[in-house]
Structures are given as structure tokens and as C-alpha cells.
Amino acid sequence: MMASGEIRLSTMTMRQMPVLAQSQTPHSPCYNASMGISGSVMGPVIGPVGVGLSGGQSLGFSYGGSLLDSSFFWSGTVAGMISGGVFAGIGFTGQHSSGSIASGVTTTTAVHGEINAGVGIDAGVSGDWASSDGNVGVGVAGSGPGQVGYGEGLGAGLGVSITTTVGSPTLRQLLNNLGFPAGSAAGCN
């Protein structure tokens, strides 16, 4: 019996048993976390009503229930908004949420809202609300929670965002594709 997270290499041939096996707890918690850079610009067009644009890119790690079911991902978001106020800022962001990131390319369109304020060091909060199978999910885009950066002004906006995420194959998928039987995914809570 192996301790949780321990990896065992077998000296038997592929046809006799899996070359790589890992202890798993079925339906263990899954999560993802990333760090990146983001920015936002807002300005008036007609009186106090204006337009805004924000976006960001991040690199992250997705834990899919076991180390064999984990992967890396890149995510990019761009949002266009009807806004009020004047703001320009850029900064570093951090994000953490539940659930694993699927391998391959996914694109999500969502309702996007954000509020930004800064005089030198800035702070911003934004959220994306998208429906997937009837469930509403909240994500981070643009100047998000955990941002540290530089910005000037005060602005808020509401609009639409498009997020594209590219998830790498998991180690388990790579091993199975190379002909090394590594079993099936552990699954998430």
C-alpha cells in the first residue's frame, strides 16, 4: 500500500501491468490557481458615459484529483464595456478557484463587470458571470482580486468578456497516449 501522493515505478513490462501507478482517493477536491498580468482602460465618450477595455493573461496549475490528473494552463481574457469615469491601470494578478481545467482549448463568453480605483498603487475588482449547464460561475478577469499594480483614476464598467483557456494534457493522458497504461482519472468532488 502506498502513501497518498506516492508514485511507484514498476519493472514489469507494459503488457503485464501499468508502468506508473499512483494512489488515488476517488472524487478528491480539485482546484486551479494562476498568476498573470492584466490591465484596464476606461474613458468618457459622450458626457459621463464612456467605453472601457480590459484584459489579461495568466499561467496556472490545475489539480485534477491526483498528481497524474494535474496539468498546466494558459488563459487570456479581453472585455469591452460601457463605463463611467476615467481609469488606466496595469498590474499583476492572482487567482484561485475550485474545479480542474480541461485539456485542450475552451472559449467562454460572459457578462463582465469591474470597478477600478488608483492613485499610483491601484486596486480593482472584476467578475465574469457565465452560464454552463444552467450553473452560474464567477471568474476573474482584468484588474482582479489579488492585483498589485499601477493605476490612475476611478472607473466602473459593465459589458462582455471572452476568455480562452488552453489546458495541457495531464500526465496520465500523456502516459496513456504513449502506450504506458496509467489507468483512468481519479475524478473530482
Would you state the pLDDT for residue 132? 55
Decide: 184 and 82 in contact? Cβ < 8 Å.
Answer: no
Give the residues of the chain that fall short of pLDDT 50: 1-24, 133-146
pTM (2 decimals)? 0.73
Would you state the pLDDT for residue 94? 80
Would you state the pLDDT for residue 14? 35
Domain region containing 112: 33-177
In a domain, 69, yes or no: yes
Would you state the pLDDT for residue 118? 87
Decide: 93 and 146 in contact? Cβ < 8 Å.
Answer: yes
In a domain, 65, yes or no: yes
In a domain, 22, yes or no: no
> Residue 101: exposed, middle, or buried by beta-carbon count in 10 A (0-12, 13-18, 19+)?
buried
In a domain, 17, yes or no: no
In a domain, 162, yes or no: yes
Q: What share of the chain is helix, strand, coil (3-state, %, to 5)?
A: 5, 65, 30
